[in-house]
Chains A and B, each alone.
Chain A
Amino acid sequence: MGGKKPTGVETKEGITDMLFFFSSVSHSQITRLYSRFTSLDKGENGTLSREDFQRIPELAINPLGDRIINAFFPEGEDQVNFRGFMRTLAHFRPIEDNEKSKDQNGPEPLNSRSNKLHFAFRLYDLDKDDKISRDELLQVLRMMVGVNISDEQLGSIADRTIQEADQDGDCAISFAEFVKVLEKVDVEQKMSIRFLH
């Protein structure tokens, strides 16, 4: 099932993903992340709300803080439970070497390169139309740069970005184009976190 878009819905694939993830993560890692989850959960009702995330001060000064927080919450929901929390974090598990040669018969793990890229794509693509439009790109760009860049300059940078990626001429970046642009970037390394510090 390579390339299937993972959703937040509790489908069979979703649960399989989670089982796979949990089985490959050590017990101490899960425990640690669970203690982190509970320490963030001020309301102690077993779920995290957006406010809980916004309470993390480092996230407040992360330019993409809001988008990252949104990525944790499935469509239209305001609370995320531990499974959902882990599900999002699962995208960032480092790819082990022995997984690279896995056969393609099983469900694609959440931390595959394609799924990592999909996660990143969804951070850009707010309206979920599978395209990064110029507007969406501009919004992300604006979040990432300082105040010294004028709108025109930013616009031309966004234009240039789209131009470099766009192959079918629709002035937007589709997921396939996104993947193609990043084929030389070491996404596996850039989007991997060692869960134990």
Chain B
Amino acid sequence: MTSLWLKISAALPPNEEQFPLTFSDKVPLSVVEMLKLARKQLYGNTTSASQILNAQIIVDYSWERLNMGTWRDVDKEWRRVYSYGCLFKAVALCRENPLEEEILQAIRTCDMALLMGAAIMENLLQVIVCILQTGIRKLAKEEDNSENIEAKKRRIASPHVGLIKEDLSVPRIKCPSLESFSANHLLPLKPVILEGIIDHWPAFNKHPWSIEYLRSVAGCRTVPVEVGSRYTDEDWSQTLLTVNEFIDKYILNKIPELKEDIRIPDYCCLGEGDEDDITVNAWFGPQGTVSPLHQDPQQNFLAQVVGSKYIRLYSPEDTAKLYPHDSQLLHNTSQVEVENPDAERFPEFVKAPYQECVLQPGDVLFIPVKHWHYVRSLEVSFSVSFWWS
């Protein structure tokens, strides 16, 4: 696969002198020495085994530093070092006519850097991982038209009629103006479902999100996965899987290609933050996945792309009736099982007023900052959340 190496070489700086390696004095000289050695080897004639060995040393040491302190405290320099280590390793893996297994390992390595490292050399790792993906035989499938039609069908014939009490339902509005959304919902912090505002997303039109499409675009990529029916369970955990592994294991039955299929809602401009400060997350999971009642410190637009979710909302004014956990880690989470509350332990809960809805494909729910929300997916579901301030 020498054409793969040619593309990678073209993406890298042309020579050692133009390859930047500067770090603050937080990084010991011994580590900088290792990094310089790796850079030298990159442009020299050493075996790829030797290069991988050196890169792995950098990855191992910086990984240990990443595990010190809370994630918030981790020095950005160590995340950069980790990214450099992964870069050297991924490139070394693909140097000498790599097999498919080695390319996959290189992709995994890039993904680890994208997940835990910090951007280096103008997001070079993102460029490299895209090149590597072209080196893997894709399960190229055309958009399945029948799936497309089925998605539209679901929108028209709502299968969840009767599930929501009319007088408690979250109000719906179609394509409000910025002014009216701001005046009627954002400033008074009132939840609302916005209809029709994401119809233009390629995720609905050009590249309708289906399982086959996800496999072809992102199948070999590694993503964090939450395992367990709810995150307050004792056996809940997080793990890392490739999208293929996740689909195989849980559906079947931090990827930017998928980002091209969605757009940031205009209403986010009403906030004070930059567009760069908006956190976009994609949530993909099977029927029955529950997010226990919790609150977030930012405004949230929850956009539903595939499948539907039952959502209940409680105002922050009623926080006392929701019995949040005492501990520092979980104080933004309620102890109550919303759809099966323990009336003895949590007597006030039933008195707390709420709103509820079933979020369908094409709907966007505005969850005001600190508004308590509980989510249960009614079928295989793919949503995108936008956290903004």
Q: Are A and B bound to each other?
A: no
